Amino acid sequence: MRKLTALSLATVLSATPALADEGMWTFDAFPTARMKAAYGWAPDQAWLNRVQAAAVRLTGGCSASFVSGEGLILTNHHCVAQCAADLSSKDKDYLESGFIAADRAREMKCPGQQAEVVTSITDVTPRVTRAIGTLAGQALTKARDAAIAGIEAENCTDKATTRCQVVTLYGGGQYKLYTYRKYSDVRLVWAPEFAAAFFGGDPDNFNFPRYNLDASFLRAYENGKPAATPQHLTWNPRAPIADEATFVVGNPGRTQRLLTQDQLEIQRELSLPLTITLLSEYRGRLIAAGEQGAERKREAADTLFGIENSYKVYWGQARALDDNAFAARLAKNEAELKAKAGRKAGDPWADIARADADYRNMFLDYYFLEQRAGWGSQLYAYARTLVRAAAEREKPNAERLPAYTDSQLPLLEKQVTDAVPTYPWLEKTALSFWLSKTREYLTADNAQVKALLGREAPETLADRLVEGTTLADPAVRAKLFEGGMAAIRASKDPMIQFALKNDPAARALRTAYSEKVDAPVTAAQAKLAQARFAAYGAANYPDATFTLRISYGKVAGWMERGQQVPYRTTVAGLYDRATGQDPFVLAKAYAAKRSALDLATTFDFVTTNDIIGGNSGSPVIAKDGSVIGAAFDGNIHSLGGNFGYDPALNRTVVVSTAAVQQALETVYPAPALVRELAAR
């Protein structure tokens, strides 16, 4: 199967016009004519407007949709798992048992969560490119970031209900202002047992057939009441129909389909092997820790889920890039674009190669000290954010780091000050892992490693920092955030002092990266974007940026080693697949309710829609504009989708609204929710 996965990618045309059902299209550039030619029909602008108004982006990297007029949000269970874990305790585990709010008063607020809906998309490319002009190096990135900060500040004066984000598309070829209506009070409404949502566990992840009830409901609140959301999708609990057209609307996180050959080499040689190795080792540490007791297993469950999922994603990407046929095809695509572009814009490929030479030299330092600093330690992340927020807020808005501008601060403050449980042993595990691996890869002779550790061992330092910090208390974090740099400097908290002491070195790396890598690559990618526009016109789409996109496709299985993989599974298959052994143990509610269920009900299904991580929770929408499922995964072939799309094999995996409806009525009864979805 793995070899077939890689070889199939040879059909991909990543730098050429999109083919078949390929494409994560922006809403202001939907390929109407292209879809009409393939399907005989395409949505009109009114249809697109309605769908856009119902699409939701969730902080934490997921997508969702409004499905009632009272702020009800459909998404995946794994998108609310962190919320469920944060709300749990040793006495009540909402991941294990599930959560059903008996009434609105018992819907529980998700810490750090925010729901956002795009209200407008505006092209601001001329203003940003004028600011950049002919600048180079750090002057370029400063001018670009200042222009972006100004645009965001001017267009979002009401920070309580709006958020502005200037998005870089085509690596710098376009800049679009996305304006969002935001809801900062988001509450958990309904979630099934983890065993039902993730039946089959890691072995089934990125595979099909599947039997996962990976669906949950949240609700957006405003002024303490359910938000009014008249523009919502119609809930349609019917089975999918083979070959019917489907749309996935959501926020794909990141693709790298427009990378040059030199940039792909960075991924193949440096980034992917290192990340896979580290994730694999950390996964082992978490599993071993979980075996020390039920409480530790519960506390680490959501973190372990994320690590295992990420490991498989990066592993799939590496396998794709290691395939000779795929690599040759990508090289051919680049050669074709070079031939079409000529020398009118110089040689942007060579410019990127020169920048990548500098990146190679700083890669490990940047990775460990800036990009991946802390390795998931929440307490360290709080400290670093508080230190940087204090320093950046002393500067004019236009001169701040992008994450700390006025338009970004409200969400940042919410995420820093919301109450979220932390677990000392898990914090120590993450922090000591980061410190030990930083010493291992940068060596004990590295000046910054010496500055980080002093004369302490990684484990000793991690223990001292975690045991001594008070940052687990949200009131302490709020006071430090409000107090600014004076409060930071006066703080005796060891984690704050550790971050304060080591931040200058990390910032220096960030500055070097900005000057030697970001700036020349931005300038070069702007030229490459123009070359693609000239060669292929509107027949190409930008890489994913965790902003709103729409893809079209159809309900369809695929051929796997000479066998047809069906497009759907049924509830009957869940019981056939159950073995009684983890991870194929039936959820308690499903085990108890078998005789009451229609076993022919569609459980999960697959479509040809082009998606990537970040699309989790995206509504799968039928031609009539109703929602018939929620995307929750891709098949194993889709893992190479970071670099390209294969219409023959790439599939989106969807939980059917028919299965969710059955669960709401019989398995995890929620009669009020059923009535709300039926608009009665």
d(CA 62, CA 79): 6
Q: Tell me, yes or no, whether 530 lies in a domain.
A: no
Q: What is the pLDDT of residue 19?
A: 62
Q: What is the pLDDT of residue 680?
A: 63
The three state secondary structure string of 460-497 is HHHHHHHHHCCCCCHHHHHHHHHHHHHHHHHCCCHHHH
654-676 tens-digit pLDDT:
999 999 999 999 999 999 999 99
Lowest-pLDDT range of 18-22, 61-65, 256-260, 397-401: 18-22
Last residue in a domain, options 300, 322, 344: 322
181-223 tens-digit pLDDT:
999 999 999 999 999 999 999 999 999 999 999 999 999 999 9
Last residue in a domain, options 322, 351, 366: 322
Scored b (16 or more CB within 10 A) or e, 16-50 reads: bbbbbbbbbbbbebbbeebbeebeeebbeeebbee
User: Nearest Cα to 254, choosing from 171, 323, 358?
Assistant: 171
Residue 25 pLDDT greater than 90, yes or no: yes
How many CB atoms lie under 10 A from the CB of residue 52?
A: 19
Residue 2 pLDDT greater than 50, yes or no: no
Q: Is this model's pTM higher than 0.85 or not?
A: yes
220-235 tens-digit pLDDT:
999 999 999 999 999 9
Q: What secondary structure letter does DSSP report for 367?
A: I
Residue 301 and residue 246 in one domain: no
CATH number of the domain that residue 552 is part of: 2.40.10.120
Which of the four pLDDT bands, split at 50, 70 and 90, describes residue 323?
confident
List strand residue ranges (DSSP E) for 149-230, in order.
Answer: 162-169, 174-183, 185-191, 216-222, 225-226
Q: What is the pLDDT of residue 16?
A: 62
Residue 3 pLDDT greater than 60, yes or no: no
The mean pLDDT of 379-390, rounded to a whole number, is 98
Write the DSSP assignment of 594-634 as a string of letters. GGGS-TTSEEEEEE-----TT-TTPEEE-TTSEEEEEEEEE
Q: Tell me, yes or no, whether 369 lies in a domain.
A: no
Residue 106 and residue 39 in one domain: yes
Q: What is the pLDDT of residue 330?
A: 87
Q: What is the pLDDT of residue 11?
A: 36
Which of the four pLDDT bands, split at 50, 70 and 90, describes residue 345?
confident
Between the two ends of the chain, the Cα-to-Cα distance in Å is 48
Residue 289 and residue 239 in one domain: no
Last residue in a domain, options 268, 290, 322: 322
Grouping H, G, I as helix, E, B as strand and the rest as coil, residue 314 is helix
566-589 tens-digit pLDDT:
999 999 999 999 999 999 999 999
Q: What is the pLDDT of residue 588?
A: 98
Q: Tell me, yes or no, whether 222 lies in a domain.
A: yes
Residue 9 and residue 79 in one domain: yes
Residue 315 and residue 271 in one domain: yes
Q: What is the pLDDT of residue 12?
A: 39
Percent of the chain with pLDDT over 70: 97
Residue 318 and residue 197 in one domain: no
Count of structural domains, the chain: 2
Q: Tell me, yes or no, whether 617 lies in a domain.
A: yes
Residue 227 and residue 317 in one domain: no
Residue 263 and residue 240 in one domain: no
The mean pLDDT of 20-36, rounded to a whole number, is 95
Q: Tell me, yes or no, whether 349 lies in a domain.
A: no
Residue 101 and residue 10 in one domain: yes
Q: Tell me, yes or no, whether 360 lies in a domain.
A: no
The mean pLDDT of 319-338, rounded to a whole number, is 89
d(CA 673, CA 656): 17
Residue 4 pLDDT greater than 80, yes or no: no
Residue 307 and residue 281 in one domain: yes
Q: Tell me, yes or no, whether 481 lies in a domain.
A: no
599-635 tens-digit pLDDT:
999 999 999 999 999 999 999 999 999 999 999 999 9
Residue 443, token pair as written in the block = 């060596």
The mean pLDDT of 167-180, rounded to a whole number, is 96
The mean pLDDT of 392-419, rounded to a whole number, is 97
Residue 316 and residue 197 in one domain: no
**Which residues span the domain enclosing 555?**
2-114+184-256+542-677
Residue 391 pLDDT greater than 50, yes or no: yes
Q: What is the pLDDT of residue 17?
A: 67
Lowest-pLDDT range of 289-303, 321-335, 354-368: 321-335
Q: What is the pLDDT of residue 20?
A: 80
Q: What is the pLDDT of residue 9?
A: 35
- The average confidence (pLDDT) of the chain is 95
The mean pLDDT of 278-300, rounded to a whole number, is 95
Place of tokens 């997508």: 63
Q: Tell me, yes or no, whether 588 lies in a domain.
A: yes
Which of the four pLDDT bands, split at 50, 70 and 90, describes residue 8?
very low
Contact present, 549 and 251 (Cβ < 8 Å): yes
d(CA 310, CA 276): 9
Close Cβ partners of 82 (under 8 Å, ≥ 6 residues apart): 60, 302
Residue 168 pLDDT greater than 90, yes or no: yes
Residue 314 and residue 193 in one domain: no
Q: What is the pLDDT of residue 14?
A: 44
